[in-house]
Amino acid sequence: MRLNLSRRNFIKLAGGLALASLGLGALGYSLGWFSPREQAVFEKESRTASRADGERSLVSFVRGRDAREMVRAAVEIIGGIEGVVKPGSRVLIKPNVGFNRVEAVTSPEILGAVIELVKEADPADIIVAESAVRGYDTSSNFDRVGVREVARELGVRLIDLDKEDRAVKTKIRGRVLQEVSVFKQALDADVIISVPKLKRHSQAVVTISLKNMMGIMPDDQKGMFHVLGLDQCIADLNTAFKPDLAIVDAIEVMTVSGPGMGKMVPGNAVLASRDPVALDLVAAEYLFKLEGHADPLRAAMNVPHIRLAAELGVGTNDISRIELIRREPG
Amino acid sequence: MISRRSLLRAMLGALLVPLAGVSIAALPSRRVVRPPGAIEEERFLEICVRCGACIEACFRDGRGTLEPCGLPDGPPLMGTPKVNPLRAPCEALYGKCENKLPCIRSCPTGALKWVEPDEIKLGSVKWSPRLCIAFLGGTCLVCAEVCPVPGAITPEGRIPIFHPDRCVGCGRCVYACPADPKALVLVPDGEVRYRWRRGSSR
């Protein structure tokens, strides 16, 4: 068959094609074919903004012996798990399992207690996910520090993000970062719970709930943070991916040096907050106190990434706006 | 019948073949980082049959660190295994491979000899300060962060100090180094190699 392309026919054909593509585009748009990711991020941003300003940030500090009781009490004080996890939501729990040695990771007891607590809020889905420090195999870390066992016992999915290969580029509004590559699981989650271990860090001074969020990114992106400036990048990342709830394992605290090896000091505490900046400030102060620092609060205020995160409105580092509620055994 | 001409040809050929062999062996080759348990280099080149079993074994559970030497490493080395920390660190050292060492177990000739994981020293790392983010004023000590060996990389202020005598050559720091190009290379300096004995592969 040969097309008889007269001037008239050509115009007709072109017009028809244009109309058809327009229709297809409209259909695609209504079905969300284009950039559903960006939508997700804007939701996250608005969620962040609604909580950043306004009332005081509650931080709980619970000392004790039993991990389960401490986690329960710490979350109860700041309003209970129901305040964070709505029934039917998808929850991502992000422990720190960056290394393969027990003292450098979130203790399985604390993680187990958090999972149990989250289960009570009746979410649709709970995943425990991590991408370890570059050069460490996440799955092997899970095995060796006892995280795999806890996840199996409690029947939650444990995800080695490095094996997922589903990182997506996401627009954020940071000072240095305008775009960040994160694993899809973090975008899909309705609620992110950061469960870090309280540790010293050779580059970020401390690693608590803000720094812990680096584990939702693939290795190349983590590397870029060091090239672009680690402290600002951590703050930037948390503008879009800050945890909705953070629970700090301060049972054994890594002091003096870290994050791989340091002087282990018993802290016997669990801290929790919905404001990761306020929480990291309080936890860092505790760490410096354990180190015997002359002015632990000042040292905590001077941690660059905590200060920068506060400047970007991720949370507050203004102690007059932080309400610290302590509970000691007695 | 053999003609005079073909006899001369055959004699010339017989002379050239070993000559070619000798000259290939004499070609310049790099010093590469060998897998755990590798016997002394000279012997290694004789004993290793380039079967690739160790490389395959290293990749059995996902990613591995071993790869065959290529032409740039030198023709005599081609096909023999080397450690490439850019693929992955050697997990035999403080990693998930501990006590298993599939590379050694799979070697059919004894070119890789059984060793205990804590005896292994594959080499050490070489640092190029001019490529190092920390040395250039950035915030980085990733190498010291990931190093599993106490005292092998110690931060002094914001700069890493390397102690090659402590280093076991696992390559974690090389793998993790975020600088581009990397400020660290794994070299066989200080490597521990073993004496070959017949039937000593296990």
Q: Complex ipTM, two decimals? A: 0.78
Distance of residue B82 Cα from the nearest chain A Cα, in angstroms: 18
**Count of domains observed in chain A:** 2
Helices (H) and strands (E) in chain B, counts: 6, 6
Query: What residues of B are in contact with residue A224 (Cβ under 8 Å)?
Result: 178
Query: What residues of A are in contact with residue B149 (Cβ under 8 Å)?
Result: none
- Do A21 and A94 lie in one domain? The reply is no
| Residue B97 forms part of a structural domain | yes
Distance in angstroms (rounded) separating the CA atoms of residues A72 and B56: 48
In angstroms, what is the C-alpha Rg of chain B? 21
| CATH assignment at residue A158 | 3.40.50.11440
Contact B142 A134 (CB under 8 A): yes
- Do A8 and A149 lie in one domain? The reply is no
- Do A55 and A161 lie in one domain? The reply is yes
When pLDDT is averaged across residues B150-173 and rounded to a whole number, the result is 95
Using pLDDT thresholds of 50, 70 and 90, give the confidence band for residue A92. very high
| Residue B138 forms part of a structural domain | yes
Position A176 scores a pLDDT of 96
- Do A92 and A68 lie in one domain? The reply is yes
Please name the residue that has the structure tokens 């092998």. Answer: B152
**Count of domains observed in chain B:** 1
- Do A47 and A144 lie in one domain? The reply is yes
The three-state secondary structure class of A95 is strand
| Residue B131 forms part of a structural domain | yes
Please name the residue that has the structure tokens 């004499």. Answer: B26
Query: What residues of B are in contact with residue A133 (Cβ under 8 Å)?
Result: 145-146, 176
Using pLDDT thresholds of 50, 70 and 90, give the confidence band for residue B13. confident
Distance of residue B157 Cα from the nearest chain A Cα, in angstroms: 9
- CB A279, CB A207: distance < 8 Å: no
Using pLDDT thresholds of 50, 70 and 90, give the confidence band for residue A52. very low
- Do A118 and A212 lie in one domain? The reply is yes
C-alpha dihedral over A64, A142, A119, A110, to 10 degrees?
Answer: 0
- Do A100 and A236 lie in one domain? The reply is yes
Contact A227 B148 (CB under 8 A): no
Chain A residue with minimal CA distance to B148?
Answer: A260
The three-state secondary structure class of A215 is helix
Distance of residue B202 Cα from the nearest chain A Cα, in angstroms: 25
Mean pLDDT of chain A: 90
**Residue among B62, B91, B141 whose CB faces A202 most closely:** B141
- CB A159, CB A128: distance < 8 Å: yes
Least confident range from A159-163, A193-197, B16-20: namely B16-20
Interface probe for B, chosen from A101, A102, A133, A137 (most Cβ of B below 10 Å), is A137
| Residue B111 forms part of a structural domain | yes
Position B68 scores a pLDDT of 96
Query: What residues of B are in contact with residue A222 (Cβ under 8 Å)?
Result: 178
Using pLDDT thresholds of 50, 70 and 90, give the confidence band for residue B18. confident
Beta strand A167-171 pairing with A245-255: unpaired
Query: What residues of B are in contact with residue A143 (Cβ under 8 Å)?
Result: 96
| Residue B17 forms part of a structural domain | no
A279-318 pLDDT per residue, tens:
999 999 999 999 999 999 999 999 999 999 999 999 999 9
Q: Is the pLDDT of residue A67 over 80?
A: yes
| Residue B1 forms part of a structural domain | no
- Do A246 and A319 lie in one domain? The reply is yes
Using pLDDT thresholds of 50, 70 and 90, give the confidence band for residue A5. low
- Do A217 and A278 lie in one domain? The reply is yes
What residues make up the domain containing A30?
Answer: 1-34
